[in-house]
Amino acid sequence: MRTPVIVGVLLVCFASAAIAQGVLISPDEGRGQPFQVKQHLVNVSIRDGVAETTIDQTFVNTTEVPQEGEYWFPVPEGAAVTRFTLTVGDRAVEARLLPKEEARRIYENIVRRRRDPALLEFAERNLLRARVFPIPPKSERRIQLRYTETLRREGEVNRYLLPLRATRAVSKPLGYLRVRVELATGAPLTNVYCASHPEAVVKREGANRASIEWSAESILPERDLQIYYSTSAEKYDLRVLTYRAGGDGYFVMLLAPNGGQKPPKLPKQIVFVFDRTGSMAGEKMEQAKEALAYCVRNLQPEDRFNVILFNEQPHKLFDGLVAVTRENVEKAVREVEALTAQGGTNIADALKEALHLFPKEGTSALQAVVFLTDGLPTVGETDPNRILNVVNEANPGRRIRIFSFGVGYDVNVLLLDRLCQQNRGISSYVRPEENIEARVSAFYNAINVPILADLKLLCEGVEAYDVYPRDIPDLFAGDQIVVTGRYKGSGRGAVVLEAMSRQQQERIRHVVDFPERAESMDFIPRLWAVRKIGYLIDEVRLRHNQEVIDEIVRLAKEYGVVTEFTSFLIDEDMIMAQAHDRRMRLRAQDSVYGMTRTPSGAAAVGASTRAQTLQRQGFLGAFAGPPAGQARQSQESLGLADMAPEVAVRAQQVVRNLGRRTFYQQGAQWVDSRYRSGQQVIAIQAFSEAHFALLRRRPELRQYLSLGDNVLVQLERVAVQVSPQGKTSLTEAEWELIEARS
């Protein structure tokens, strides 16, 4: 017998900044949340400015009795929907619209009846509502949704937004979530930037096509997926995105080459430094051999190269830099394949020998060292700080880049990261169980075809400051550069990039409006804060400075970035359990770098060296810099890498980032990080008439007040607390304070 399906559709014709994924809830307030998302698959096809989104969700009735369910899905803000179809089970149903006032009345009655603040996220937006009945006990119901929309253009870029963020109506993690986006444009596609999920894998597939993929398991998504892209006929595409909501502004600069025009690439002078020491024995050595063979065989005809093999002493295969001929390439590969791992590790002498191979006279070629190692010095100079000094002396002006590729689990991440950071390179790592060919090809392809080097950023018309990364990385083919910063002043200005290309000194100038107020791209401030905190953490790694630590803590609290210095936000016993397991492993490296211990006993500057590495790559490198997908970035971007799952979950439970704001859980209350004790507070009773009036007058507060039934939000002139106790109506004077914008 076919299961009956009753479907009703509700479309509320408003707009809101807060959007959530589709959810299935029980209309019976007394039955809790009986449904769990087993699988959530999304396929998106974008053709220029039109996107077709197909969503396939599988829900499970986790109870022992049949359950009626209501499916709610928010249509993206501003979407010009051209087609909307819904499939429940095996039946396709076309959506229909209800008059606006009737839709609002029905919705507010539901919220009042259920008294669930989580449902506030669905108000004041385009909303699909479908009633599905019954779902047998322990059974599944598959819901498929497809809609087409005309994408919004925000400033200089096109934006695609996918509702993913789990509402507070969803308390159980999704089993599996996967998003695939295929992007095609008529004009050459230049910048492609996944602002919300920097760990998403972005692949260029020709001048006019790209794909983006992101997936996760057992997750409660905290963010909607946002993709920004642009097209250009210019040789280089420079775009600037801004955010300002009072005070100084924030900006993000995107730079990408035009794949259709193929700007002239710089030739390379490159030296591969290969670690053949005893610590590389076994699978490490085999991984490193495969990596080097791939790199050498993919050199460009105009390049020049050499290979240095080292243990206690360095041994170079050629006298000086040689041409990329078949004979030279095969000789290098044969020599490496015949190696056995033995001897001690003299990193300082090997790198010094490599740096001395480069000619002193000026050249338009990109000069680089690629260092394949586990980074554990045992012979000669073994102090990491002194090794860094040796390299700095041999590389004045840092004209020679150093790229490191670490292999295995036991890797001196601190040393390799610092080598690359100080010498304008990129570090990458491969674990024993990973596909070496895929990882090496992604790493080497990212640095194989340089286009612009020695980039310098200038701003005209405004004062730019706190720009990160401090040293802008080189631009490679198929890559893009992301730079964040703050600015003072406003009005018409320009961003100027000066760089060296193969043919000449390049000067790229782009006119920009730096506004007094621009609040749509609220991801920008936190992106800037994450980059700055990463820079400051690296400073602490070199020298312990309490003022720098205090600044890290201040920024972490304000912007909701969980770091090792704000681990007090997580249960202390969970931190201690992990710290105990790592303490002996980290002690030697910690003492070398002059790190101190917190009173709790945890490392003062990080949960682990691996966590710091991946954290720094997310903080300091352009998001497209290191190969994508090398870590669990959803945790690492919060500073939670290498923590046990329960620790990461606990951190996310007590800290919530919503738009530009951060909320901390203090007892039963969620408190805005902007709130300062002693400020005037207007208390409003949850679900009262004053509560709904507040949401109508300040609709942007919905996403914050959906946190729970006890939330304190700081406004421009007053703080508002919505809780079970409070006023049911307000005076005109109180409304004036609430509605004041400055």
For residue 539, tell me if it sits in a domain. Answer: yes
Instruction: Identify the DSSP state of 2.
Output: P
Residue pair 532/495 in contact by the 8 Å Cβ criterion: no
**Whether residue 730 has pLDDT greater than 90:** yes
- Asked whether residue 221 is domain-assigned, the answer is no
Residues 280 and 414 in one domain: yes
Per the CB < 8 A criterion, the answer to whether 24 and 35 are in contact is yes
Pair (436, 299) in one structural domain = yes
Say if residue 284 is in the same domain as residue 431. yes
**What range defines the domain where residue 422 resides?**
268-448
pLDDT of residue 630: 27
The reply to whether 510 and 537 lie within a common domain is no
Report for 102-106, 163-167, 311-315, 545-549: range of highest mean pLDDT: 311-315
Q: Is there a contact between 284 and 407 (Cβ–Cβ < 8 Å)?
A: yes
Q: Is residue 170 part of a domain?
A: yes
Going by C-alpha positions, the residue among 85, 59, 84, 53 that lies closest to residue 71 is 59
303 and 365 belong to one structural domain? yes
Instruction: Place 368 in a pLDDT band, splitting at 50, 70 and 90.
Output: very high
Judgement on whether residues 289 and 162 belong to the same structural domain of the protein: no
Give the chain's domain count: 5
Question: Per the structure block, which two tokens stand in for 56?
Answer: 């396939």
Same-domain check for residues 685 and 625: no
Does 404 share its domain with 305? yes
Burial class (CB within 10 angstroms; exposed 0-12, middle 13-18, buried 19+) of 600: exposed
Residue ending a domain, among 432, 448, 464, is 448
The full DSSP string for 113-137 is HHT-GGGGGGSSS-EEEEEEEEE-T
597, pLDDT greater than 60 = no
Say if 101 falls within a structural domain: yes
Average pLDDT on 312-317 reads 94
pLDDT at 207 over 80: yes
Nearest partner of 205 among 226, 180, 225, judged by Cα: 180
Measured between alpha carbons, how far is 35 from 27 in angstroms, rounded to an integer? 12
Does residue 195 sit within a domain?
no
In this structure, the answer to whether residues 470 and 591 fall within a common structural domain is no
* 440 and 319 fall within a common domain: yes
Residues 554 and 605 in one domain: yes
On whether residue 109 sits in a domain, the answer given is yes
- State percent of the chain over pLDDT 90: 27
- The answer to whether residue 188 is domain-embedded is no
Residue where a domain stops, chosen among 495, 521, 547:
521
pTM above 0.85, yes or no: no
Work out the pLDDT band at 608, boundaries 50, 70, 90: very low
- pLDDT at 153 > cutoff 90: no
Contact 178, 215 (CB under 8 A): yes
CB 315 within 8 A of CB 272: no
User: CA–CA separation, 678 vs 363, rounded Å?
Assistant: 62
Q: How confident is the model at residue 84 (pLDDT cuts 50, 70, 90)?
A: low
pLDDT at 599 over 60: no
Same domain? For 97 and 173 the reply is: yes
Query: What is the predicted pLDDT for the residue at 312?
Result: 93
Reported for 96-100, long-range contacts at CB under 8 A and 24+ positions apart, including other chains, are 96/9, 96/11, 97/9, 97/11, 97/13, 98/9, 98/10, 98/11, 100/12, 100/13, 100/14
Is 331 part of any domain? yes
Contact 657, 524 (CB under 8 A): no
